[in-house]
Structure formats: C-alpha cells, structure tokens
Structure 1
Amino acid sequence: MVREKDACWEFCEKLDGNKVRCNFCDKILNGGISRLKHHLSRAPSKGVNPCAHVPDDVSDVVRSMVLSKEQRKEAAFPKRHRPLSSPTHQPVDVGRTIAEFFFENRLDFRAANSASYRRLAAALGGAAFRAPSPAALKSSWLETLKSEVKAKIAETECEWASTGCTIIADTCTDNKSRAWINFFVSSPSGTFFHKSVDASPSFKNSKRVSELFDSVILSVGPENVVQIIVDDAAGYLAVGGLVSHKHPSIFWSSCASRSLSSILEDFAKVEWVGRCIQRAQTATRFIYNNRWAMELAKRFTGGEEIVKTSFAKSVSSFLSLQSMVKQMARLKQMAASQEFSSSPSSDNLISYRCREVLEDGLFWGAAEEASAVAAPLLRVMREVSGSKPATGMIYEYMAKAKEAIRACYIMEEAKREVFLEIVEERWRRQLHSPLHAAAAYLNPSLQFNPESATLLSSVKEEFHAVVDKLLPSADLRQDITSQIFKFRKAQGMFGCNLARETRSTASPGTWWEQYGDSAPGLQRVASRVLSQVCSANVLDRACCGSHPAQPEKRNRLDRETFEDLLYVHYNLKAQSRARPPDSDPLVLEELDMGSEWVEDAEPGNSAQWLDHFIFVSSRQSTSNFIGPNDLLPFNL
C-alpha cells in the first residue's frame, strides 16, 4: 500500500475516513498524509496551519520531501501564472522585487501602466496580485526603499571611527553635456552612494569645486575621512591642493585603476603594439559585422566571446588581444576552414584582410608579446579594482609587475626599457601616494620579509610623514616611537605564533586588528591606512558612467524626488554588484557595440543594425530613466 511506503505515516495516527491526527500537537487534519506534510513542514499552504510542536529536524525532512515532490510535478506539468517562491518555499515579496527592479535599472515608471506589465505581474504574483502602480512606485515604494538603504548605511557608518573611510568622486555627464560629480563613501563593510552634485556652474572655478568637496567632507565627518580618490587626478590638481590645505589630515589620491589604464594607453602608443591592435581590430570588426562570420566564430570558439569590454578603452584593447591569443588555434582553424572560404562574402576585400590577419604568424607573434607585457598590469588592476581594501598591497603588486615585465625581455634591453620607463613615469607622476607608501611599511607580509628591505627603506620617510598627518598632536603621538619599535621587532602580541603564522595569509587590516593591541596608537594609524580602497571604479562604468538629467524648471519637491531616485538607484546598484567568483572583475557584462573592435566604419551589414540600435539606446541614460518629454521618470 502507498500508505505504508510513505515515511510520514510514523508522525500521525490514521483516523476514520481521510482524517489523520498529528503526533506532535494532536491536531486533526482532513486530507490525509498530504495535508499532514504541509502541516509538519511549517510552510503554510492550502490553508494548513503549521505545527507548533514538531521538532526542527523532522520539519526540515518533511519540507524537503514536499519541495522535491512539487519540483517533480512542475517539471512534468509546468504551470502558468505560478506565484514566485524561494528555494525554502517561503513566498517572495513580488511587489518589492518589482519595485527594486524599476529603481535599480532606472526604468520609466509609466511602464507600469502597460498591458504587458500587468501580464508579467500576474505571472509572478498570481491572478489576484496587485502590482505596484506608477503612483505607488514614485511615492510609498521610493520612501520604503530609501529608508531601508539609510538603515543599512547607518550600520556601516559605525565602523568609521576605527577604520576611517574613503570619499570617491566619479565624474560623468548627462545628455545635456553637464558635468556631475557622484560622491561615494567606501569602507571595509561596503561602498554606498552619498550624493550627486551638478558641478557645471563651478567646474572651471577650482575654489568653488573645492567647496563642493568640502560640503561632502563635512557631511561625512572630517574625522572619519582618510582619503579622497578622484577618477581624473590631472583635472582636479588645483582642487586637491585647496582641499588638502583646509583638511591637512586627508590624503588626495589618484584612482589606481585609472592610472594603470593610462599606462596601458601609453603601451598601445608604442608603434608595433598599436599596429598589432589595429590589425586585430580589422579581424574582429569583420567577424562582428557579418552574421555568418559571427556564427562561424562562435562554433569554432565554443561560444566564447572574442572581444572584451572594460571600463577604459586601453584595458578593453589588451583584454581583447589576450582573448584572441587564447583562442589563436581555433581562429586560425576558422580562417583556413572550407566554411570561411566558401562564404558569400569571402571574396570581398574586408574578408580577405580578416583572413590575412588570422593566418599571419607575425601578427600572432606580436599579439602574444603585447599580451604578455600587459598581463602583469592587468593582474594588478584586478587586485586593486572594486571596493576591497588594497592600499597595503599596491606597492608589492607593482614591484612584481615590473619584475614580470623585465622577465619578458631578458635578452632585449631596449624593449624592456621602453615599457619600464612608461611604468615608472606614470608611477611617479600619477599613481604613487604617501598613503600607499605608509601602507606598504605597515603591511606585515612586507615588514617581516627580508627581501623587502630595500622597498621598506625607500618608504620609511613617507611612513613617518603619514603618521604625523594622522596623529597631528603630541598627545596622540605619545610613545609612538616605542610602538613602531615593538612592531618592527615583533614584540608583544606582534610576536605570538598566530601573528607570525598569518603575516602573509590574513589581510593587513585584519592582522592589525587582531594583533596590534601592543601598540594602540600605531594600531589606530594602521587600521585607518590599511582599510582604504585604491580605485574609484567601485561600480561598473556601465552603471555610473552616465547621469540622468535633473529637472531645471520644476519646483523644489521635484528636485528632492529626483535626488531620492538617484540615492536609491545607485545604492541598489552598489548592493547588487556581486559577480560570480570565477568572473573577471575587469570585463563588463555588456559588450560595447560602438567600440573600435566591433563597430564597422564602412557601411554596416543590415543584420547588425538591431544590435547596434539596442546598444546605443542603452547608453542613453535618459531613455532608460525618463520619458522623451519629461525630465523625471514619471509625470507630476
């Protein structure tokens, strides 16, 4: 009998008819063993109340049985209009999910009036579900999400007293070519959007721009701010001087990722490297502008994308070149294949040039060499990009990168010096920071490594200057010399077995937090110095590289609503930025269909017009966030 095979019969007593009595709460249920399972699983369903006395282990087993059965049933007979459920069978808040989707992606609220939106909502929440209306999205849902974001940020702010924080200034433009500065605040617990300022009226006046920065510093708290990172150090040179003069304990730093991309940009200007990139682009433009070639390439490469898009043009170029080298054998096979030579376009000039590049051994030799010399810098960029603290490691990363470049040209001194001079020049002029020097000195993996003696000697003076800056009074610096001595000689907790064993495995900031109690003053400096990020690209450039237009001739309420929309949008983006562990942090998910690697300068193939149109539309921020006749994503 089926009843005897079902394991759940041991949890109940069979009564007359189709009734059962629960052994844990004595409740009598109509509907047999099926109703009992829902009762014991504690997942309310079909009007069954959860059992209040069932042990957790029994409930977990029964819940897994119910879920497994429903999944098999759904696979065999897919249902339409099934309300969303989580893997634990708890109902998902569909209204919230829809609202977050609108805000995170800057969608026009009027889309909630469409028939397709109503069908989508019914499919997600069921026929009786009432989806958020445009009015609810721009009022109650906006306030709800704003309050929740503020609450999460308040939790993050609690750590600033010990770790400090970094203000990040990201400059972008809207569709009216006005300059905006998006201010983010980053600390070990995360990065959040603080505010956005229209800097157009002040952009040519360094004093007025410095006042914008000053207002952000005051709102965050000068005592909490360790450094300010700007995405364009040269453009903010005078502003940085004014801010540093007013707030001498705050460091003004360049974006490490931007500086590294500038190094790669200079690499691409080396004649043979630039020529190699141009030839590679000749091949990829042909492939990406002809459907048959694109399908053939995907077949030979196993569906892997050839062209890569990153936050900077130079980074995209070297990532794409590396991608081609990785798939060199397959691309050669494609060019020599019968399918390629017999294609309708195989006889035209562009097809011939593409095949000529892919079959040219000299090209592939240059591509391999260019990829190898850029690889060390791309590795550094992966480590310092994003919101993880990296100040303590950037010196070590750059030292290893230069050694790797030397290794590429052991027998070719002239070539080696060309690339190393580029790196050194950018390092001295743009990337180097006293904060990075102090962080290197405080990094236990460097301080206790005999091979780092020369490096530590070169940064010692800057380390002391940073200590003076962060501990400006004699009272704060009291006993600091003896504390530095304890650290260098591994005395007190610095010398315990755990501290010694984790010098190179724990993050520098965590190491100081755990083992720095023997030197409390120096521990405070180390915690603040080692807890900072190095780059301004805390969000993908695709997320924050454009800015929606602000209302100009509307009332104060409109402007406040606009600011709230930005606040919720950017912070939802920051919270959802997590990538798969095996993904490349430098590669953007969306391919730039307008790049030199893809866009055809000659009359395009009609098969590609739709892809190009979709991309161009997606790059226009106002077409996503607002309607064609409105400056806000809703009608007021």
Structure 2
Amino acid sequence: MDLPSTSYPEALGLKRNSNDVGWEYGFLSDPKNPDRVKCKLCGKEMGGGVYMIKEHIAHHKGNVTSCPRSSKEDQSKCMKAVLESSNNKRKMKNKVDVLSLHVGVNVQNIEAVYEGILVRSKHRIAQGPMDKFVTAVTPPEVSSGGQENSNDTHVVSQLCARWIYQAGLPFNAIDSDYIRSFCEALGQLGPGWVPPSQCELRETLLTEEEKIVKEKLKSLKIERERNGCSILMDTWSDTKKNVMNLCMNSRGGRFYLSSKQSQTGTSIFEYADKCIEDVGPEKVVQVITDSADYNLAAAKMLKEKRPCIFWSSCAAHTVNLMFEDIVKLPNISNSIDKAKALTLLIYAHEKTLAMMRHHTKEKDIVISRVTRFATTFLILQSLLENKQQLKVSRVVNVLEPLVKVLKMVDGEKKTSMGFIYGELVEAKKIYQSCYQQLGRYYQPILEIIDVKIKGRLDSPLHLAAYLLNPYYFYNKPDVKPDETLMNGFLI
C-alpha cells in the first residue's frame, strides 16, 4: 500500500515482532512504551497497541476515533482482523473453562498453560487486545525445564491419560507414530481446535483415508514393478490353531495381503504359492518365514517349484532358537535357575526389594525385552553389574555375542541382511578364542550355532550380501572369498 505524502518518516521505524495486519497501518511511537502507537495514515497517536490501530482504521466505534484517511479496502481488512481477534478470545475462554472443569485445577494455571503454548509455538497465532498474549519488542527467552513448564506438561499428560482410560485404549497405542504426528500438528495449530464428530469419523474422514491408502497402494505397485518385492509370512498360533498372515514388502513400504489358518507344510506352501502367482512370480525376490518345522517343509517345496525365488528364515527367530538350546546346557541352566530364584526372592518381599533398590540406586535388576531369552541375559548382566562376586560372569560372556546379533536383527535402525552372516561369524570367533582354555564348555555352543545357521542363515542371498558388504570386504582383511562364499555368490 502506498503511503500518502504526509506519511511520517518514523513510520519506517519501530514495530512489534509480529505479522499482525495492524502494523501495516501503524508503528510504535515510543520504544519504551509498547502500548503507544501512531497511525501511518493520519498521524494520530493513541494507546492500546496494535489492536487499537485496527479499530482506528476499521472505523470501529467505541474505543477510538476513526481514521479520516482509511479507504474502504483498509476498513474491511482491519474489521476482519478485529472480528478474528474477538473470536479467538472467545474460543480461548471456552477452552479454559472446559479444561478447568475436567482437570479440576485453577483457571489461572490453565491460562498459564495456554500462554506458554502461545509463546513457544512456531507459528504466530492471531493477536488479541490482551497484553499477556502479545510478545515484547525484544521478547525474553523462554526458560526450558522450569517448574512452570513441568506443571504445564503434567496437565497435558493427565488429559491424554484420562482420554485413554475412558476410551479403553491399550497403553501401547501411545507408541504409535500417528499419535505423535497428531500431537505435533495440534501444537502447531494452537488452541481452539474442535475434534471431528462421529459422523465425520465414520464417513467423511474414513472415505478420505481410504483414498490416501489406495494412492499409497498404487505407488507400492509401481515400486514392486520396478524393483521387486518380498513376501513375509508371519505365523500366529495358540493351543488350537495356527494362523498365517501374508504381507508384501518393498522399498516403498509394507502392506497386508491376507490371512489363512494353516496347519501343515503342504497347506502353507499352497497358500504362499498362490500368493506368488497373484503378485507375479517375476516380481517376487524372496519369501521370508520363521524357522518352524512346517515352514521349513514349505520352503523345501517352494525351492523345488520356484528355484529362482529365494527363501529366507527370520534371523531374529533363528537367533532365539540358538538361545533356546544354549540355555538348556547344564552349566548355563544352573546359573540361570539360581538367578531366577534370587530375583523372585527379592521382588516377592517389600523389604528385600527396598534394600536392593537402595544399594543399586533405584536400578531394577529385572529388565523386560521382546524375547524371554534376551530378558534372561539382561537379568544376568544386571546381577553381574551390581554384584561382581556372583558366579554369572561366564554365562553373561556366553550369551552376550548372540544378544548383540539379536539386537541388530530385531531393530529397525539399519537393514540387517548384509550383516547377519558376518555378525554370526564374529560371534563364533569370540567363542573360538575361548576354546583353547575352556573347549569342553564352548564346544556345544559352537555346535548349536552351526546347526541353527545351516539351511536358515547361510543361503546364497546371505552369503552374497556378506561378501559384497563394504564393511567386511574392505575393513576386515581376514574376510576372503573362500569356497563356501564363492559357491553361494555364484549360485
């Protein structure tokens, strides 16, 4: 907007750090008083900050005289901003009332929560006439980690927890990436958001989500045509039945295909073979299953019918099978049984538990993980850290190399295919280095590892990935393309 010839030179001077539309028509007349502003059009000086400038330009009666030089367009623009400010103030008040009713805290505390949210938000929210919602010319830094911020966070967490309890949601729902994205988006939007209605969730938003999923499936199909895919077979079983879930995985992502109750290797093979036919045999690179006997039988049939498709065993399940056999060895099982008895004694009595936590500085010795074998190792390791005299050090040394492999294949930080065989080779080297002194103790462990690797994690795909991995090929001078590796690489 062009200023009239009588515009004031100081109009190019100070203004508040804000994108409010009012600063197009005014500026701070006194840097020491952030409420004293001056109109760029007529030169009138007034109090009340930028909100008063907007009323002045919009010819909003009651608080300030109207600007004689504002055009119809200027008046309409500022009137719209004034009404938006009023609406935001009303929404804020309603939100505060609702929060104070449900949480049972003081209204001033809830207002402090929202004041902090406004100050910390990345996107500026429309300004209102209240000073506490307007930042200073040079706003002070907001301290992080203070008592006030801690109280604000607790109030929000309490509301979230209450919703989960009331809705009967499982506690692991809070770990979803989608709830984190939702919270981030809500924080950027600011207060005043109204949740969608049941009708919107059931119809409008569900239809939109269906379209998004279909578009995602189209992109996955294009990726599958370009680079191929893997078929994942996940078995869920109880005492009565086995259910096989089929998923397809490619560089674009993973999605569910179908499920079927399967009991034998033949039925699993027929189910997987039909899936491969539906997807397209030329597009399937490998089929991945766990190491159960019926899956091994199905894999053998699959190799005979479709030799061009790799079958791979689930690495995490195979390592767990190694653990399962190792912990049955007499020397190791005795130590584990004693450790279990000790932890049961400690955790079964309040006094012994309090005494243990006093000496370990509130550290627990029972650490749960996804698999019970990893949990066993971590309990033993914790006992060793807190009492070096306990005779569990040898068991910890035995399990630690395989736990390292399990953490790698069960994590999602990096693709593990190129590292599985190499890490198992490294674990075997650790056991072999102890073989000269304690050969009788470590020989059964090496035999268990070799038996579980054979036919599961030594396929041509694993060997080729190991040989072509620069981490081993260039950094490990002892890695040489021996006969076993070359046979797997050239098949």
Query: Which TM bucket (shorter chain)?
Result: 0.5 to 0.7
2:244 is aligned with what amino acid?
I
Counterpart of 2:410 in structure 1 is: 385
Give how far 1:384 is off: 2.0
Query: Following superposition of structure 1 onto structure 2, how do residues 223-238 of structure 1 map, counting pairs within 5 Å?
Result: 223-238=282-297
Mapping for residues 24-35 of structure 1, pairs under 5 Å: none
Equivalent position to 1:422, from 430, 448, 470:
448
Amino acid at match of 1:198: K
2:236 pairs with one of 172, 175, 200 = 172
Q: Give the CA RMSD over aligned residues.
A: 4.9
1:438 aligns with 2:468: no
Residue identity over aligned pairs, in percent, reads 26
Corresponding residue for residue 576 of structure 1:
none
Question: Quick one: distance in 1 between partners of 2:343 and 2:380?
Answer: 10
User: Aligned with 1:167: secondary structure?
Assistant: strand
Q: Is 1:300 matched with 2:359? A: yes
Shift of 1:67: 9.7
Q: Highest CA radius of gyration, 1 or 2?
A: 2
Aligned partner of residue 195 in structure 1, secondary structure: strand
Q: Which amino acid is the alignment partner of residue 178 of structure 1?
A: K
Indicate the SS of the match to 2:448: helix
Structure 1 residue 198 corresponds to structure 2 residue 260 = yes
Contact kept in structure 1, 2:428 and 2:446, CA below 8 Å = yes
Residue identity opposite 1:382 in structure 2: K
| CA distances 1:274-315 after superposition (whole Å, capped 9, x unpaired) | 000000000111222223333333333233332233333333
CA contact (8 A) 2:231 2:284 kept: yes
Segment of structure 1 superposing worse, 149-158 or 165-174: 149-158
Which TM-score applies when normalising by structure 1? 0.50
Deviation at 1:65, TM superposition (A): 4.9
User: Residue 259 of structure 1: CA displacement?
Assistant: 1.2
Where 1:424 maps in the other structure, the secondary structure is: helix
CA distance, structure 2, for counterparts of residue 7 and residue 67 of structure 1: 16
Instruction: Give 3-state SS (helix, strand or coil) of 1:323's partner.
Output: helix
Maintained 8 Å contact 1:259/1:426: yes
Structure 1 CA distance for aligned equivalents of residues 194 and 400 of structure 2:
52
CA distance in 2, matches of 1:79, 1:420: 52
Query: What amino acid sits opposite 1:197 in the alignment?
Result: S
CA offsets 1:598-621 (integer angstroms, 9 cap, x no match) = xxxxxxxxxxxxxxxxxxxxxxxx
2:343 to 274, 284, 291: 284
Q: Distance in 2 between matches of 1:368 and 1:128?
A: 57
Q: Is 1:322 paired with 2:381?
A: yes
Structure 1 runs not aligned, ≥5 long: 49-60, 86-91, 107-124, 330-360, 466-636
Aligned to 1:341: none
Q: Within 1, Cα distance between the matches of 2:18 and 2:292?
A: 72
Distance 2:147 2:396 in 1: 51
1:249–1:77 Cα change, 3 Å? closer
CA displacement at 1:320 relative to structure 2: 2.0
For the Cα contact (< 8 Å) 1:82–1:126, is it kept in 2?
no
Paired AA for residue 465 in structure 2: A
Q: Distance in 2 between matches of 1:207 and 1:63?
A: 76
Equivalent position SS for 2:437: coil
The 2-side partners of 1:371 and 1:71 are apart by 39
2:454 is paired with a residue of what secondary structure?
helix
Evaluate the alpha carbon distance shift between residue 235 and residue 290 of structure 1 in structure 2; reply closer, same or farther with a 3 A threshold: farther
The CA distance in 2 between the partners of 1:137 and 1:250, in whole Å, is 43
* Per-residue deviation, residues 487-541 of structure 1 (Å, max 9, x unmatched): xxxxxxxxxxxxxxxxxxxxxxxxxxxxxxxxxxxxxxxxxxxxxxxxxxxxxxx
Distance 2:309 2:137 in 1: 55
Partners of 2:246 and 2:257 within 8 A in 1: yes
1: distance between equivalents of 2:343 and 2:137?
A: 52
Residue 302 and residue 132 in structure 1: after superposition, are their counterparts in 2 closer, same or farther (change >3 A)?
farther
Using a 3 Å threshold, how does the CA distance of structure 1 residues 407 and 41 change in structure 2: closer, same or farther?
closer
Amino acid at match of 1:458: T
Q: Distance in 1 between matches of 2:140 and 2:278?
A: 52
Q: 2:327 aligns with which of 268, 290, 293?
A: 268
Quick one: structure 1 residues 104 and 66, their matched pair in 2 at CA, closer, same or farther if it must change by over 3 Å? Answer: farther
Select the residue among 102, 124, 136 that pairs with 1:43: 124
1:106-505 to structure 2, matched below 5 A, reads 129=194, 132-133=197-198, 142-152=206-216, 154-161=218-225, 163-173=227-237, 177-188=240-251, 190=253, 192-199=254-261, 202-204=262-264, 206-328=265-387, 361=389, 364-365=390-391, 367-387=392-412, 388-448=414-474, 451-452=477-478, 454-465=480-491
Structure scoring higher RCO (CA < 8 A, sep ≥ 6) equals: 1
Question: How far apart, in 2, do the equivalents of 1:431 and 1:375 lie?
Answer: 19
Matched-pair contact (CA < 8 Å) for 1:396–1:440: yes
- Maintained 8 Å contact 1:170/1:181: yes
1:168 is displaced (CA, Å) by 1.8
Deviations along 1:538-580, one digit per CA (max 9) or x if unpaired, are xxxxxxxxxxxxxxxxxxxxxxxxxxxxxxxxxxxxxxxxxxx
CA distance in 1, matches of 2:393, 2:47: 78
Distance 1:224 1:43 in 2: 50
Matches of 1:71 and 1:386 in 2, distance apart? Answer: 31
What secondary structure does 1:269 align onto? coil
Measure, in 1, the Cα distance between the counterparts of 2:420 and 2:137. Answer: 49
| Contact residue 188 and residue 389 of structure 1 kept, 8 A | no
What one-letter code is carried by the residue in structure 2 that aligns with 1:407?
A: S
Structure 2 distance, partners of 1:245, 1:273, is 40
Return closer, same or farther for 1:375/1:79 CA change in 2, 3 Å cut-off. closer
2: distance between equivalents of 1:428 and 1:17? 84
User: Aligned partners of 2:157 and 2:245: how far apart in 1?
Assistant: 38
Displacement of 1:211 after TM fit? 2.6
* Aligned equivalents of 1:9, 1:439: Cα separation in 2: 56
Task: Give the TM-score of the pair, scaled to structure 2.
Answer: 0.62
Query: Whole-Å Cα distance in 1 between the matches of residues 150 and 446 of structure 2?
Result: 63
Moved more, 161-170 or 224-233: 161-170
**Which whole-Å CA distance do the structure 1 matches of 2:359 and 2:47 have between them?**
65
Q: Distance in 2 between matches of 1:64 and 1:144?
A: 44
Write the letter of the residue equivalent to 2:387.
Answer: M
The change in CA–CA distance for 1:303 and 1:77 in structure 2 (over 3 A counts) is: closer
Q: Does 1:17 align with 2:47?
A: yes
How many Å apart are 1:147 and its aligned residue?
4.2
Counterpart secondary structure, 2:432: helix
Q: Distance in 2 between matches of 1:71 and 1:288?
A: 34
**Is the 2:326–2:448 Cα contact (8 Å) retained in structure 1?**
yes
C-alpha deviation, 1:258, in angstroms: 1.2
Match of 1:181, SS state, is strand
**Which stretches in structure 2 are left out of the alignment for 5+ residues?**
1-12, 28-36, 39-45, 55-72, 90-117, 130-134, 175-189
Contact 1:169 1:184 in 2 (8 A): yes
